[in-house]
Structure 1
Amino acid sequence: MLWLILGLILFLGVHSVSIIDANWRDQMAARLGPVAWKAIYGLIALLGLYLIVIGYAQARLAVDPVVFYQPPIWTRHITLLLMVPVFVLLLAAYLPGRIQQTSKHPMLLATKIWALAHLLANGTLADLLLFGGFLAWAVADRISLKRRAPVPAPGAPAGRFNDWIALGAGLALYLFFLLWAHKTLFGVSPIG
């Protein structure tokens, strides 16, 4: 559990720099140079992600995990339904169009839906730390965006087919994860 907690602190911590002090982030990028700043930021995020994966895997293999609640089986169906727009929103974050414009911050919305959906289907301490941590971070980041200047995200140029690309590719990714990747990567099949 220690690795999971340390990973969450590193990963969500580095992603919280803008929430805490966007000016400090800009100063560090100016002082170190944009490439060095992004390299340091990226290495910390990757280390955090690695520790999250290791820690969560260890917690799932624990002989006697701490269970906070046992979700009813029907919540898994809600989880499957909630996950449908997640990949569409993730792609829409980089494909300017109506989906991006309507959701305002599609990646944060995708993160909130993903985390909530997984909290509905899982009730151990490790699940609460992982998915609850991401949900709390996404809510805090969304609130902080109301008081700070937006930073343009890299992405494709605006185009009339971007929404269709996000929708088609997002649904294909959802099916890919549903039918194969989730079981292969995480050892759990979402559909039984």
Structure 2
Amino acid sequence: MAILILGLVIFLGIHSTRIFADGWRTSMVARMGLWPWKGLYTAISILGFIVLVIGFRMARRDTMVLYSTPSWMPHVTALLMVFSMILFVAAYIPKNWFKAKFHHPQVLSVKTWAVAHLLSNGVAADVVLFGAFLLWAVLSFSAARRRDRANGTVYAPGNVIGTSITIAAGLVAWSVFALLLHGPLIGVRPLGY
């Protein structure tokens, strides 16, 4: 569990600079330059992610169950993951309703992903992983909305085309991950096949 927590600290720590140390981040970008900062940020993120994955795999060997969920809950998780994938892709597709309405759909995607998985997984390692991401997403979304208000950020309105493309791309992403990749990569087949 310690390696999982270390991975979470590294990965979520670097992703929390805009939450807890935005001034420091700004001064580092000014001192280093944007691209060197992005390179350092990426390197630390990758390191944290690798440690997190290794730690999670090790921690999952301990099957201490903190709570049990009903047998139908994975279906709720699968449905929530459809919305999570739509929100995730909404961050990258212009002129969609989700970005116009929520402003930070990718962070909401992480929040939805974490809640969805906490509903289905009561094993200690899962609760630590998804609980940490949920806490980060709540803090990140709040900080991003405060920055938007302080900067007077205005988001472009969505339209039918952008929103339709976003929903279609989210459904494709969900289908590929849920049906093809989740089992081989994570070891769990969310829909049973």
Q: What secondary structure does 1:189 align onto?
A: coil
User: Partner letter of residue 102 of structure 1?
Assistant: K
Task: Name the structure 2 match of 1:86.
Answer: 84
Contact in 1 for aligned 2:104/2:144 (Cα 8 Å):
no
Identity of aligned residues (%): 44
Task: Name the structure 2 match of 1:20.
Answer: 20
Task: Name the structure 2 match of 1:124.
Answer: 123
Task: Name the structure 1 match of 2:154.
Answer: none
User: Partner letter of residue 182 of structure 1?
Assistant: H
In structure 2, runs of 5+ residues without a counterpart are: 152-157
- How far apart are the structure 2 equivalents of 1:115 and 1:181? 18
- How far apart are the structure 1 equivalents of 2:75 and 2:134? 20
Q: CA 1:85–1:20 in structure 2 vs 1: closer, same or farther (change >3 Å)? A: same
Task: Name the structure 1 match of 2:114.
Answer: 115
1:21: Cα distance to partner? 2.0
Task: Name the structure 1 match of 2:32.
Answer: 32
Contact in 2 for aligned 1:96/1:159 (Cα 8 Å):
no
Matches within 5 A, 1:56-71: 56-60=56-60, 62=61, 64-71=62-69
1:159: Cα distance to partner? 7.8
User: Partner letter of residue 49 of structure 2?
Assistant: L
- How far apart are the structure 2 equivalents of 1:149 and 1:172? 31
Matches within 5 A, 1:1-192: 1-60=1-60, 62=61, 64-97=62-95, 98-149=97-148, 161-192=161-192
For residues 30-66 of structure 1, give each alpha carbon's deviation from its aligned partner in whole angstroms, at most 9, with x where no partner exists. Answer: 1011111111111111111111111111122x1x422
- How far apart are the structure 1 equivalents of 2:121 and 2:94? 33
TM-score for the superposition, normalised by structure 1: 0.90
Residues matched between the structures, number: 184
Bigger mean CA offset, 70-79 vs 10-19: 70-79
- How far apart are the structure 2 equivalents of 1:146 and 1:183? 35
Tell me the C-alpha RMSD between the 2 structures. 1.7
1:15: Cα distance to partner? 0.6
1:120: Cα distance to partner? 0.4
Bigger mean CA offset, 95-104 vs 112-121: 95-104
Q: CA 1:107–1:148 in structure 2 vs 1: closer, same or farther (change >3 Å)? A: same
1:181: Cα distance to partner? 0.6
TM-score for the superposition, normalised by structure 2: 0.89
